[in-house]
Chain A
Amino acid sequence: MRTLERSNPFASLVCIVCVTLTAALCQYPGMLIPALLGGAAFYSLLAGRSGKRTHILCALLVVVSALVNPIFSHNGITVLFVLNDRPVTLEAVCVGLMNGMTLAAVIYYFGALTRIMTSDKLLYVFGKVSPKSALLISGALRFVPLLGAKSRRIEETQTALGLYRKGNMISGAKNKLKVFSALTSWALENGIITADSMAARGYSDGRRTYFAPYPFRACDAVWIAVYSVSAAVLITFSAIGTYGFTYYPQMVRTGGAYSAAFYALYAAICFLPAAVQLKEAARWKYLISKT
């Protein structure tokens, strides 16, 4: 199987949305732990060392959420201690923990998605839906760094002409606003020429084709099928109560004997992206060791 990173962008998008949607809808400890771990593993494999801040953020989130929830929620029967005449319950702490873990898992998966969705792929997704939007996105992605560079140049020029002094916050903000205003003039004026260049190359409001270097392969269909079917099954059976978990007033597992199968299915789709990624890395190592 091809990694999500190298798959068709639609496949990457569908898989990640399915996993997070399921995690958000089915709040069971047995499912959140694989979601969190699978997400963390997948993200770490993609981000490497640069993901340190996200890990810290996620850890903080879980802790803070576990501490904050009991302050708002006093449901539950297992009272740990009493604070300001209000009971702090084990159940509320656990719900906070679960919420934090859900959010952390979502952050990991979407963090991975942000790494995977390069601008090309973002465009591909939108290009299929609406070519005009794709063009707009492409143009905006081109203008943003251009504007950044231009605003730095304007600041430097104004400094070198003795017209731009760093002072306190207010005058600093004023100066920045002036630069921003000049930037706007420039961007609009420039934009007209860009628009003319578009028209000169045959752009008009009618239909246009969209070219992108991402073919849709059988492998992508497999990714999409596996994830959408799994998510549908998991969410449906959770909704009709075939398997489940309640927190208030007491933490109890509900549902029948098949619960374990559902957990296993979910764990599988959580770890699959990381596993495929890992397999590919291992194959590289193997190929290099052979030569």
Chain B
Amino acid sequence: MEILDIKNLSFSYAGCEEKALDGVSFTVNEGEFVALCGETGSGKSTLLKLLKRELRPNGKLEGAVLLGGEDISSFTPARSAREVGFVMQHPEQQIVCDKVWHELAFGLENLRVPEQEIRRRVAETACYFGLDGIFKQNVSSLSGGQKQLLNLASVCVMQPRVLILDEPTSQLDPIAASQFIATVRRMNRELSMTVIICEHRLEEVLPLADKALVLKNGKAAFYGPAREAAARFAADEKCDMPAASRVFARTGGDGECPVDALEGKKYVTQNFSNRVRSLGREENKRSSGPALEFSHVFFRYEKNAPDALFDLELKAYPGEHTCILGGNGSGKTTALCAAVGLRRIYDGKIKILGKNIDTYRNGALYRNCVAMLPQDVQTAFLRMTVREELKDSGCAPESLPFDVSHLLERHPYDLSGGEMQLVALAKALATKPKILLLDEPTKGLDSGFKQILKRIIKELCDSGAAVVTVTHDVEFAAESADMCVLLFGGSAAACSGPREFFGGNAYYATTCARMTRGYFENAVTADDVCALCEANGKKEAGV
């Protein structure tokens, strides 16, 4: 049964001639799971916001959105809240109240549901979403993943018929992201809730989706079965299709397009032989001592707290990109903060460019030496325009290895996630650091910006700087690191080049490594797999 009917929807933002959306039409049946794909700026977010009346941005709208045959702009606020649920990107910003139970009740209070009924619905919702253990806690004590789950729950407590999610997992770590997606999937299957989701990382979402809508420059380029979308757009790097589909497209596969690791493995093993099992290992090009060295470092936040860094040994060499990976609470960010002197270690030694960190005084550590960009890059901005920001830190825009000139007059908060990252990076580079520390630089970025970031890091390394990145993004690490370190419980559990690192890990690995495990060796990126497939050649049909 048809639930949503989007009719010829066009939209242009206030004060902007260009159409952000141009004549998009599609229909969604009840209980369908629709993935929305497309590069940044293709109008994904705009489209989703237009589906929720309260979130429609200022601008000129044509066409209509019909829900169950009625235009959503004719709904009362209560009806609109009850029919369409919307979860946004940042977990933190959507929460209104200070307690978990109050946040869950918030929507029902607005709908003027009687207290007794609220009690029942809040209780059953908390149980379904596994929030019962944290029901009475302060919201500020929750992790990002829990917060986003709470946002989902406090929308679903109103039992909406359509659930819209705008990049809900882009700010979460991979484990929390999988859990979140699994919950959405469960709601779709068990409660036949209609889901429309937009994600950068389609790796997990696309295999679950019934249909996919691909947007290009504000127009619907494709709407149909998800697998077909993967097959058609896998060759387009900017669409971020799953790795299996990308390998399929690049090796000229035909037939059914694989969308997850299992199908990808079938495709590779059935179509290609494995006479050549591995590519060469990375060679070591080191010529000097480490730029950053942790030896037997111990740190804890409070006297009686457990050690956040426990006998940590870590070396980062000039000219190399070192990636630190690991779960939440493994001490990754703490290690970075210790390296810039924001945390005082209680035992061990940190050497910066061969000298003990304590010998740097009066801010000498931050001049031509170390600079760090935190996860939350917004904290780097204090001014009203990008130009003032750069002037403050003494950065000439022309001298940068990337172009920010088109952003100079904008307010830093108006920039997209990727642009913000670039401007913050410009501020960090103004100190001419020999060691650059980045905390989760790829969080919330699409593949276009990831490519730019990879290029910048490469150039910095080539000029002799040491770049250390803390990341959850295994694909990014596999593609750009020279060295990968796995942190666990505050100490380094493994340390090697990316091929060996991800090839050797069974669980903490890239999709490509999982896809080819036991068949190829050390093939960790789509490039690797394609190169090996090419080297081996296609099997004859029927062999």
Interface residues of A (CB under 8 A from B): 119-120, 123, 131, 135, 138-139, 141-142, 145-146, 149-150, 153-154, 156-163, 165, 178-179, 181-182, 185-186, 189-190, 193-194, 196-204, 207-211, 213
Report the Cα distance A161→B381, complex, angstroms.
11
Produce 1/0 per residue, B83-97, CB < 8 A to A: 000101010111111
Which of B94, B119, B362, B393 is A193 in contact with, Cβ under 8 Å?
A: B94
Contacts known (A153-B379, A182-B382); A209 close to B81, Cβ less than 8 A: no
Asked whether A162 lies within 8 Å of B99 as measured between CB atoms, the reply is: no
Contacts known (A156-B337, A161-B366); A200 close to B108, Cβ less than 8 A: no
Q: Determine the chain A residues whose CB is within 8 A of the CB of B329 once the complex forms.
A: none
Q: Determine the chain A residues whose CB is within 8 A of the CB of B155 once the complex forms.
A: 200-201
Q: Determine the chain B residues whose CB is within 8 A of the CB of A146 once the complex forms.
A: 92, 140
Q: Which residue of B lies closest to A204 (CB)?
A: B77
Asked whether B374 lies within 8 Å of A156 as measured between CB atoms, the reply is: yes
Asked whether B366 lies within 8 Å of A145 as measured between CB atoms, the reply is: no
Q: Determine the chain A residues whose CB is within 8 A of the CB of B82 once the complex forms.
A: 202
In chain B between 94 and 117, which residues have their CB closer than 8 angstroms to a CB of chain A?
A: 94-99, 101-102, 105-115
Asked whether B382 lies within 8 Å of A199 as measured between CB atoms, the reply is: no
Produce 1/0 per residue, B357-386, CB < 8 A to A: 000001100110011111010111110000
Report the Cα distance A13→B109, complex, angstroms.
25
Report the Cα distance A145→B140, complex, angstroms.
7
Report the Cα distance A180→B126, complex, angstroms.
37
Q: Determine the chain B residues whose CB is within 8 A of the CB of A131 once the complex forms.
A: 109
Q: Which residue of A lies closest to B392 (CB)?
A: A163
Asked whether A197 lies within 8 Å of B96 as measured between CB atoms, the reply is: yes
Which of A138, A178, A190, A208 is B93 in contact with, Cβ under 8 Å?
A: A190
A139-B97, A162-B366 known, 15 other contacts, Cβ within 8 Å: A131-B109, A135-B97, A138-B97, A139-B96, A141-B98, A142-B96, A142-B140, A145-B140, A158-B379, A181-B382, A189-B413, A200-B52, A201-B106, A207-B112, A209-B109
Asked whether B97 lies within 8 Å of A202 as measured between CB atoms, the reply is: no
* Nearest chain A CB to B146 CB, angstrom units: 15
Q: Is B124 engaged at the interface, CB distance under 8 Å to the other chain?
A: no
Asked whether B113 lies within 8 Å of A209 as measured between CB atoms, the reply is: yes
Asked whether B108 lies within 8 Å of A197 as measured between CB atoms, the reply is: no
Asked whether A120 lies within 8 Å of B99 as measured between CB atoms, the reply is: yes
Q: Determine the chain A residues whose CB is within 8 A of the CB of B108 once the complex forms.
A: 209, 211
Q: Determine the chain B residues whose CB is within 8 A of the CB of A196 once the complex forms.
A: 54-55
Asked whether B380 lies within 8 Å of A161 as measured between CB atoms, the reply is: yes
* Nearest chain A CB to B502 CB, angstrom units: 29
* Nearest chain B CB to A6 CB, angstrom units: 14
Q: Is B427 engaged at the interface, CB distance under 8 Å to the other chain?
A: yes
* Nearest chain A CB to B389 CB, angstrom units: 10
Q: Determine the chain B residues whose CB is within 8 A of the CB of A210 once the complex forms.
A: 109, 115
Asked whether A211 lies within 8 Å of B97 as measured between CB atoms, the reply is: no
Asked whether B94 lies within 8 Å of A197 as measured between CB atoms, the reply is: yes
Q: Which residue of A lies closest to B57 (CB)?
A: A196
Q: List 9 A-B contacts (CB under 8 A).
A: A190-B92, A193-B94, A196-B54, A197-B88, A201-B81, A201-B110, A201-B154, A209-B108, A209-B112
Asked whether A193 lies within 8 Å of B93 as measured between CB atoms, the reply is: yes
Q: Determine the chain A residues whose CB is within 8 A of the CB of B92 once the complex forms.
A: 146, 190
Report the Cα distance A203→B105, complex, angstroms.
12
Q: Which residue of B lies closest to A186 (CB)?
A: B378
Count, A-B residue pairs, CB within 8 A: 163
Q: Is B220 engaged at the interface, CB distance under 8 Å to the other chain?
A: no
Q: Is B342 engaged at the interface, CB distance under 8 Å to the other chain?
A: yes
Asked whether B102 lies within 8 Å of A123 as measured between CB atoms, the reply is: yes
Q: Determine the chain A residues whose CB is within 8 A of the CB of B465 once the complex forms.
A: none
Q: Is B80 engaged at the interface, CB distance under 8 Å to the other chain?
A: yes
Asked whether A161 lies within 8 Å of B113 as measured between CB atoms, the reply is: no
Asked whether B115 lies within 8 Å of A211 as measured between CB atoms, the reply is: yes
Which of B88, B110, B376 is A153 in contact with, Cβ under 8 Å?
A: B376
Asked whether A202 lies within 8 Å of B110 as measured between CB atoms, the reply is: yes
Q: Is B118 engaged at the interface, CB distance under 8 Å to the other chain?
A: yes
Report the Cα distance A194→B78, complex, angstroms.
18
Asked whether B376 lies within 8 Å of A142 as measured between CB atoms, the reply is: no
Q: Which residue of A lies closest to B97 (CB)?
A: A138
Q: Determine the chain B residues whose CB is within 8 A of the CB of A142 once the complex forms.
A: 95-98, 139-140
Q: Determine the chain B residues whose CB is within 8 A of the CB of A208 once the complex forms.
A: 109-110, 112
Asked whether B371 lies within 8 Å of A161 as measured between CB atoms, the reply is: yes
Q: Is B244 engaged at the interface, CB distance under 8 Å to the other chain?
A: no
Which of A135, A149, A193, A201 is B158 in contact with, Cβ under 8 Å?
A: A201
* Nearest chain A CB to B425 CB, angstrom units: 11
Q: Is B431 engaged at the interface, CB distance under 8 Å to the other chain?
A: yes
Report the Cα distance A146→B147, complex, angstroms.
13
Produce 1/0 per residue, B319-362, CB < 8 A to A: 00000000000000000010011100000000000000000001
Q: Which residue of A lies closest to B121 (CB)?
A: A211
Report the Cα distance A197→B77, complex, angstroms.
13
> Max chain A CB contacts within 10 Å: which of B78, B99, B122?
B99
Report the Cα distance A185→B413, complex, angstroms.
9
Asked whether B119 lies within 8 Å of A211 as measured between CB atoms, the reply is: yes
Q: Determine the chain B residues whose CB is within 8 A of the CB of A138 once the complex forms.
A: 96-99, 102
Report the Cα distance A197→B106, complex, angstroms.
11
Asked whether A162 lies within 8 Å of B431 as measured between CB atoms, the reply is: yes
Q: Which residue of A lies closest to B119 (CB)?
A: A211
Q: Which residue of B lies closest to A208 (CB)?
A: B109
Q: Which residue of A lies closest to B154 (CB)?
A: A201
Q: Determine the chain B residues whose CB is within 8 A of the CB of A159 once the complex forms.
A: 340-342, 366
Asked whether B95 lies within 8 Å of A154 as measured between CB atoms, the reply is: no
Report the Cα distance A113→B211, complex, angstroms.
57
In chain B between 111 and 154, which residues have their CB closer than 8 angstroms to a CB of chain A?
A: 111-115, 118-119, 122, 138-140, 151, 154
Asked whether B93 lies within 8 Å of A194 as measured between CB atoms, the reply is: yes
Contacts known (A139-B96, A202-B77, A202-B80); A213 close to B378, Cβ less than 8 A: no
Which of A139, A178, A201 is B382 in contact with, Cβ under 8 Å?
A: A178
Q: Determine the chain B residues whose CB is within 8 A of the CB of A211 once the complex forms.
A: 102, 105, 108-109, 115, 118-119, 122
Q: Determine the chain A residues whose CB is within 8 A of the CB of B427 once the complex forms.
A: 161, 163
Q: Which residue of A lies closest to B384 (CB)?
A: A185
> Max chain B CB contacts within 10 Å: which of A138, A139, A160, A204?
A160
* Nearest chain B CB to A73 CB, angstrom units: 47
In chain B between 368 and 417, which residues have their CB closer than 8 angstroms to a CB of chain A?
A: 370-374, 376, 378-382, 392-393, 413
> Max chain B CB contacts within 10 Å: which of A153, A157, A196?
A157
Asked whether A161 lies within 8 Å of B393 as measured between CB atoms, the reply is: yes
Contacts known (A156-B337, A179-B382, A182-B381); A203 close to B94, Cβ less than 8 A: no
Report the Cα distance A201→B139, complex, angstroms.
18
* Nearest chain B CB to A127 CB, angstrom units: 9
* Nearest chain A CB to B433 CB, angstrom units: 9
Q: Determine the chain A residues whose CB is within 8 A of the CB of B172 once the complex forms.
A: none
Q: Determine the chain B residues whose CB is within 8 A of the CB of A182 once the complex forms.
A: 379, 381-382
Q: Which residue of A lies closest to B364 (CB)?
A: A162
Asked whether A119 lies within 8 Å of B98 as measured between CB atoms, the reply is: yes
Report the Cα distance A62→B112, complex, angstroms.
51
Q: Is B428 engaged at the interface, CB distance under 8 Å to the other chain?
A: yes
Report the Cα distance A141→B139, complex, angstroms.
10
* Nearest chain A CB to B395 CB, angstrom units: 10
Asked whether A200 lies within 8 Å of B97 as measured between CB atoms, the reply is: no
